[in-house]
Chains A and B, each alone.
Chain A
């Protein structure tokens, strides 16, 4: 039994279990495949956490050379049960 997790586009994930397709909104682009028995798969909860930390290049500099850097961190967390 194979559950295949793949992204149809940047915002959706397709979870294929036999011929059933479930679509879950998630803003990440990772593709993962998990191998489980059907029974195992059905009792599982599936969670994804994606984080992205971005040093944007925006800075502020003080007169003594002290530099501040902007960092933006996005975290997406999703869970599903089949």
Chain B
């Protein structure tokens, strides 16, 4: 079975000379309980889908965020309340600010030499990565459904200890998918984890070839996906909210830095 898939992929990559462009929506899956732990002002932003594009041509692909009019915009709101007792006037101003950043995450894959280069944002930094095309060891399940008019088959994988479910179509016989995902005998249209989902929103195929430039990571400190996984796990385990209090005249200024998930 594995040899058959290999031969199938070999045929796919050698014969698929045109360009295929696929838009995916990335959505957070969040339980009502988890949503309650997120500050009210941030909930809409956290749940907002993000659009990415995957382009493939001539053995290379690039998956990156699509420009949006919301990119790098900051929206602010303010609410003022006043309370007066016999000997005290209190004025409280509660302001919120949301910066919507365009994701700098991308995956460049070269299926000819089986390598990928990627950027993985980590708070205010970008981690630069290089790795081999991953071995997903997909297990194809005997289930089908239709996604965006394409008959899809189900596959599951456990990669780095996480469970993934993918739906792919053999109607577009090319072994690519969103983000890190690939390695199935057809285009991956949908991937999900318990926390996240990637789903196709648009597919466009042309007969022209597109030159996909390899990013230059010269002088960058490079990590593998497995190393980035360790960095994230440590961040989850070891993060403690920081709080600093300073006094400026009769004004007390408190600055708190927290992580919400």
Using CB atoms and an 8 Å cutoff, list the residues of chain A in contact with chain B. Answer: 24-28, 30, 32, 34, 43-80
- The docked-state distance in angstroms from the alpha carbon of A28 to that of B233 is 38
Q: CB-defined interface of B36-63 with A at 8 Å, one 1/0 digit per residue?
A: 0011011001100000000000000000
Interface 9-residue window, one of B3-11, B107-115, B116-124? B116-124
Give the residue among B90, B93, B193, B228 with the most A Cβ atoms within 10 A.
B93
* Apart from A25-B249, A60-B122, A73-B255, 16 more pairs, CB < 8 Å: A24-B250, A25-B248, A25-B250, A45-B88, A52-B97, A53-B94, A54-B96, A55-B45, A55-B96, A70-B257, A71-B39, A71-B257, A72-B258, A74-B255, A75-B256, A76-B253
Contact residue among A50, A54, A63 (Cβ-Cβ distance under 8 Å from B160): A63
Instruction: Knowing A54-B96, A57-B100, A71-B259 are in contact, say whether A63-B253 is a contact too (CB < 8 A).
Output: no
- The docked-state distance in angstroms from the alpha carbon of A71 to that of B97 is 10
> Which chain A residues lie closer than 8 Å to B45 at the CB level?
55
Residue of A nearest to B26 (CB): A65
- The docked-state distance in angstroms from the alpha carbon of A72 to that of B41 is 13
Tell me if B215 is interfacial: C-beta within 8 Å of chain A: no
> Which chain A residues lie closer than 8 Å to B41 at the CB level?
53, 55
16 contacts between A and B (CB under 8 A): A24-B250, A25-B249, A25-B251, A30-B80, A53-B39, A53-B96, A54-B97, A55-B42, A55-B45, A55-B98, A58-B121, A60-B123, A62-B229, A65-B29, A70-B123, A77-B252
Tell me if B141 is interfacial: C-beta within 8 Å of chain A: no
Residue of A nearest to B197 (CB): A65
- Cross-chain contact B93 with A58 (CB below 8 angstroms): no
Range of interface residues on B (Cβ < 8 Å): 35 or more
How near does chain A come to B209, taking the closest CB pair, in angstroms?
A: 32
Instruction: Knowing A55-B99, A66-B195, A69-B46 are in contact, say whether A80-B255 is a contact too (CB < 8 A).
Output: no
Instruction: Knowing A47-B88, A69-B46, A76-B252 are in contact, say whether A57-B257 is a contact too (CB < 8 A).
Output: no
Tell me if B32 is interfacial: C-beta within 8 Å of chain A: no
Minimum-distance CB pairs A-B, first 7: A65-B196, A57-B101, A57-B99, A64-B162, A25-B249, A65-B195, A75-B254
Tell me if B203 is interfacial: C-beta within 8 Å of chain A: no
Residue of A nearest to B123 (CB): A58
- Cross-chain contact B162 with A52 (CB below 8 angstroms): no
> Which chain B residues lie closer than 8 Å to A26 at the CB level?
251
- The docked-state distance in angstroms from the alpha carbon of A62 to that of B254 is 30
> Which chain B residues lie closer than 8 Å to A62 at the CB level?
195, 229, 232-233, 236
Interface hits, B178-234 → A, CB 8 Å: 193-197, 225, 228-229, 232-233
Residue of B nearest to A59 (CB): B121
- The docked-state distance in angstroms from the alpha carbon of A16 to that of B254 is 28
